[in-house]
Structure formats: C-alpha cells, structure tokens
C-alpha cells in the first residue's frame, strides 16, 4: 500500500455513524496502548493522556514573527500511557517506532541515536526544575502521521508533559503547557519551532478553529460550518533541507526586522510591527529576498484575521480564496512549497466542490489541505487522490480529517 495513493474511507456518510466510527477507532487505539504498556512493564499505567495533531487553516510562518495563526486540531492523536517506577531511570517505548529505550535525566546530554527520546528528556528536565521528577515508564502510540507537517511532535510532547506533570502532582497553568513544549523543541530537540503547534495541541476545541495572537498569546475560537470538510494530502515527502531552510527563513525575518527598523527609524521587535503600507513604500529600497519574506509574513497574518472573520460570517468561498492566496504567497514570496504541494493545490482548485486548498505546516514537503463541500467529501477525496497519483506522485495519500480537541487525560 505504501507506493500508492491511499484513500482511507474511515467514515460512512451518515453523520451519526461517523461519530460512532470515530470514537470506536480511538477507543481501540487506547485499549491497544494500555495492553502494550502492560506487556512491556508488567502492570497497568497510572495515567493515559492524549493530544491532537493539527492542520493550519491560514497563518503560516507567522507565529515566530509575532503574528496571527488559525489552526484546527484533527481527530488524530498521540497517546501516552505512563506510570511511576521511582528511582532515577526512565523507560520509554514508542509503538510507531517499535523502539524501547531507557535513560536518566542528565542535562545537556543529547541522544543522537534515539532522537525521539530528547522530547521526553526535555519534558522531564524542565518539569524537574519545578519539582523533583522520579523515574517513569512510558508507552506512546499515535495516529498522527510523523514528520508530515501535521504536528506529530507537538502532539507527542504535549501528551508527555500532561502525563509527567500529573504523575508528580506538578500543577501547571494551562498556558505553561505550550510554552514548555516549545522550549523543549527549541532547547532539547534543536528545532526552532514557534508556539502554534503546542498551543493548538493544548487549547483546541472540536468543530472550531482557534485564532492565536502569537505575540500576546490571546486566543479565541470560531466555529467551522458543518457544510464543509477537510481533506488532507500527506505527500510523504520531506525535503532533506527542511530544518536548515526553516531556520534560514527565521533568520531572514530577523535580519529584515533590523533592516526595517533602520529604514523606518523606529523600534521594531518583529515583522508584526510593520504595516503593509510601510513595507510597500520600501519596495525599491530593500533587499528583494527580505522584501518578499516580509511581504508574506505581513499579508499572511492579515489573512489569518480575514479568514477568522470569513468563518464567523460562514463565508466559505472567501475562506477558500484566502487559502489559495496563502498558498501562492508561501510558494512565491516565502519559497517553502514543493512540487507535490503545488500539484495537490492545483488539482484541488480545479475540482468542482472545492472551496480552497493550500500547503499546511512549515512546507518543504509535508502535507496540503483542501476545504470541500461536506456532501461531496468522499467522491472528492477519491477524485483528487487519483489525479494526484496520475501526476506521478506515488508516495502520498489523502484522508478526510475531522476536527479534534486539545490535550486531555483519558483516564487516571
């Protein structure tokens, strides 16, 4: 199955049955993980937590520029079954990676061969700064595709923080969870990711998008009409240079801020502080690459606000238009798209019943999303997946994503 587009028909047409199907499959995953935990550690876990993956509707590469983002959690989650073992040793098993490893908290020690363990180490280290953290057994299971721009890393690390903090009775404020998660990715994993992914993993609500002001961390929800559904195309491609290019974009934005502060002769701490009019006045007097990057960030942040308003007005046509504008800007101004993402968006945009499509997540491969007429979701998923495959992109698949909710304790 790996070499062909998979259309996973996970739900039947009846809305009631869809909900039942969804819950049943998630229940199976939870049960299976608890069973696995028992097999690995010889007793039941003390706690089971979970956090969702996400799609981002509009607002890409804006969070680390102090702008707005508008993500939505999906019904694919990462589960952490955990139990106290005492002592200094931590043991972790990842079902998806089929790997088990043990470690102690030693600040500054990066695990090269078990990269995935750095997230857990980071969580335990930062939490142990607040209160002593003793050894824990972990079993991790997930339905979020990994490394595909759907934020498996934030789902994973947020579910770990929720488990470890509760096992040690460390009372975190809600807002501390995404902040810790971001620090873990930045300081312990080496990815300069922004606040969006852990934020939505913590705060998302089913059937809602969440508008986050990445500077103030204020947020508000907006319902998503039941007239529409989301298709996700996992391209299966991750460019080798993704991390380097991502960090390069962040750096370019920082350089742009310094340049713009000088030219505008005032204090600017992020691209959020610059208006589109101000930027446009400098078009012929600013480095073209930095201009294009800034243009993307400033317009994209505005688009996130406009998309929020369009959802409030239930104007799906306008949401779709903004999604496409976002994609074109990411492709041409920010230069983070890929042939696979562009092909999916082009195919989707040409299909009847589609409101809009764009890449989602940081880019350089990863995933694209498509907002479609809910009545036609099944046929469009099949049609678009087939056309995508016919273009020669063999490695990807399409699925229908439902909205999901933020992190939770499944049982204690």
The contact set with ligand ADP (CB under 6 A) reads 78, 94, 96-97, 115-116, 140, 142, 146-153, 156, 191, 361
Q: Which of 223, 240, 209 is nearest to 369 (CA)?
A: 209
Task: State how far the alpha carbon of 172 is from the alpha carbons of 54, 93, 128, 165, 324, in Å.
Answer: 23, 25, 13, 7, 39
285 is catalytic: no
Q: Which of 146, 184, 143, 149 is nearest to 164 (CA)?
A: 184
Q: Which of 365, 407, 358 is nearest to 232 (CA)?
A: 358
Q: Residue 361 binds which entry of Mg ion, ligand ADP, none, with Cβ cut-offs from 5 to 8 Å by kind?
A: ligand ADP
Task: Locate 367 and state its tokens.
Answer: 């995933």
Residue number, 106 or 113, with CB nearest to ligand ADP: 113
| 271, β-bridge pairs | none
b (16+ CB within 10 A) / e for 222-261: bebeeebbbbbbbbbbbeeebeebbeebbebbeebbebbe
Q: Residue 163 binds which entry of Mg ion, ligand ADP, none, with Cβ cut-offs from 5 to 8 Å by kind?
A: none
Active-site annotation holder among 21, 46, 174, 197: 197
Q: Are 71 and 57 in contact (CB under 8 A)?
A: yes
Q: Are 227 and 285 in contact (CB under 8 A)?
A: no
Report the nearest approach of ligand ADP to the CB of residue 361 (Å). 6
Q: How many CB atoms lie within 10 A of CB 219?
A: 16
Site map (CB under 5 A) of Mg ion, residues 367-396, x = contact: ------------------------------
The Cα 367–Cα 232 span in angstroms is 7
Q: Residue 65 binds which entry of ligand ADP, Mg ion, none, with Cβ cut-offs from 5 to 8 Å by kind?
A: none
Residue number, 140 or 228, with CB nearest to ligand ADP: 140
Instruction: Select the residue whose beta carbon is closest to Mg ion and give its number.
Output: 153
Residues numbered 116 to 135 that lie near Mg ion (CB under 5 A) are: none
Residue number, 74 or 228, with CB nearest to ligand ADP: 74
Q: Residue 147 binds which entry of Mg ion, ligand ADP, none, with Cβ cut-offs from 5 to 8 Å by kind?
A: ligand ADP
SS3 state at 304: helix
∠ CA 109-364-315, rounded to 5°: 120
Report the nearest approach of ligand ADP to the CB of residue 116 (Å). 3
Q: Residue 148 binds which entry of ligand ADP, Mg ion, none, with Cβ cut-offs from 5 to 8 Å by kind?
A: ligand ADP
Residue number, 78 or 208, with CB nearest to ligand ADP: 78
Residue number, 54 or 389, with CB nearest to Mg ion: 54
Residue number, 200 or 298, with CB nearest to ligand ADP: 200
Does 153 sit near Mg ion (CB under 5 A)? yes
Report the nearest approach of ligand ADP to the CB of residue 115 (Å). 5
Report the nearest approach of ligand ADP to the CB of residue 37 (Å). 14
The Cα 186–Cα 153 span in angstroms is 12
The Cα 148–Cα 132 span in angstroms is 35
Report the nearest approach of ligand ADP to the CB of residue 214 (Å). 17
Report the nearest approach of ligand ADP to the CB of residue 142 (Å). 4
Q: Residue 140 binds which entry of ligand ADP, Mg ion, none, with Cβ cut-offs from 5 to 8 Å by kind?
A: ligand ADP
Q: How many CB atoms lie within 10 A of CB 192?
A: 15
Report the nearest approach of ligand ADP to the CB of residue 120 (Å). 9
The Cα 349–Cα 343 span in angstroms is 10
User: Which residues are known to be catalytic?
Assistant: 197
Binding site for Mg ion (CB under 5 A): 153
């Amino acid at each position: 199955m790996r070499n062909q587009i998979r259309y996973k028909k996970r739900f039947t047409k009846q809305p009631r049955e869809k909900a039942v199907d969804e819950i049943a499959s998630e229940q199976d995953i939870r049960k299976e993980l608890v069973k696995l935990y028992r097999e690995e550690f010889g007793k039941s876990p003390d706690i089971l937590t979970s956090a969702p993956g996400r799609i981002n509707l509009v607002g890409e590469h804006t969070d680390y520029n102090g702008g707005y983002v508008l993500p939505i959690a999906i019904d694919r989650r990462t589960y952490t079954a955990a139990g106290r073992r005492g002592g200094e040793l931590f043991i972790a098993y990842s079902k998806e990676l089929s790997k088990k490893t043990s470690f102690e908290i030693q600040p500054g020690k990066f695990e090269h061969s078990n990269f995935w363990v750095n997230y857990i180490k980071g969580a335990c280290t930062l939490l142990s700064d607040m209160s002593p953290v003793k050894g824990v057994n972990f079993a991790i299971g997930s339905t979020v595709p990994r490394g595909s721009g759907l934020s498996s890393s934030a789902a994973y690390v947020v579910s770990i923080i929720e488990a470890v903090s509760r096992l040690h009775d460390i009372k975190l404020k809600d807002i501390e969870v995404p902040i810790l998660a971001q620090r873990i990715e930045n300081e312990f994993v080496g990815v300069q990711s922004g606040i969006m992914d852990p934020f939505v993993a913590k705060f998302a609500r089913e059937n809602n998008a969440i508008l986050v002001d990445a500077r103030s961390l204020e947020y508000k929800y907006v319902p998503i009409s039941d007239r529409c559904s989301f298709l996700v195309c996992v391209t299966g491609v991750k460019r080798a240079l993704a991390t380097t290019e991502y960090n390069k974009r962040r750096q370019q934005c920082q350089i742009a801020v310094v340049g713009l502060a000088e030219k505008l002769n005032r204090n600017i701490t992020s691209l959020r502080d610059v208006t589109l009019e101000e930027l446009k006045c400098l078009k012929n007097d600013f480095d073209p690459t930095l201009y294009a990057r800034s243009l993307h960030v400033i317009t994209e942040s505005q688009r996130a606000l406009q998309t929020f308003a369009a959802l409030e007005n239930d104007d799906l046509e306008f949401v779709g238009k903004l999604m496409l504008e976002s994609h074109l800007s990411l492709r041409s101004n920010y230069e983070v798209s890929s042939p696979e993402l562009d092909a999916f968006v082009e195919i989707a945009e040409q299909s009847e019943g589609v409101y809009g499509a764009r890449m989602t997540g940081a880019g350089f491969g990863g995933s694209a999303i498509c907002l479609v007429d809910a009545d036609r979701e099944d046929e469009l998923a099949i049609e678009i997946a087939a056309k995508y495959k016919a273009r020669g992109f063999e490695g990807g698949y399409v699925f229908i994503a439902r909205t999901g909710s933020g992190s939770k304790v499944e049982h204690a």
